[in-house]
Amino acid sequence: MKQVEFHYDLVSPYSYLAYGRLREICSEHGAEIVLRPMLLGAVHNTVGIQAPVDNRVKGRYSAKDIHRWAEYYGLPMKFPDPFPFRTIKTMRAAMFLKTRGELEPFTREAFALYWEEGGAPEGVKADEDGPISEVARRIGVEPAEVLEGAGAPEAKGALKEATDAAIERGVFGAPAIFVGEEMFWGNDRLHFVEAALREG
């Protein structure tokens, strides 16, 4: 089966948009999505990129652009306020659940909670335990177990290793999508992903 590797952070609105459409594309082409969680802030810091939200003019445009793409894809969108929000513990929880084979449902439900229902952590200093617990309940996992797993050294190390590996591979933002060794950055490159799957 063909594979599409999806590097993402749940704080990224364009990752939410891409994930929604990419699932349809992969289903249509008989491909499997391989989820690659990473910490977007660490990627930006390492490669020296400023997030759009840090630029007032670009941030204002991006907010409109994100809603435009959501409407185009037919995806619900309730933009979190305040934004950005904290995800370091959430992404560590993702790494913990990856070891249990539950990364896909966690990612799906977290994207829904954060970007469709207004349930994201309330800012960069917010406690993530509540949203993580809610997502855990939705996928049938004991919240305390997920929170404990997210706080373990193994999950912390795994997220750092995954982020470092993404940077080493050339990732500089999210979403970054690979078909084979070819990288496509951004939700607006999905037509190239689809073309690569047809050619592959």
Q: What is the DSSP secondary structure assignment for residue 8, as one 8-state letter?
A: E
Which CATH number does the domain housing residue 113 bear? 3.40.30.10
Q: Write down the pTM of the prediction.
A: 0.95
d(Cα 143, Cα 161) in Å, to the nearest integer? 25
The predicted pLDDT at position 53 comes to 74
Q: What parts of the chain have a pLDDT lower than 50?
A: none
The predicted pLDDT at position 56 comes to 80
Instruction: Name the strand (E) or helix (H) holding 129.
Output: helix 129-138
The predicted pLDDT at position 177 comes to 98
DSSP strand pairing (2-8 vs 176-179): antiparallel
Domain count, the chain: 1
37, β-bridge pairs: 8
Domain that holds residue 78: 2-199
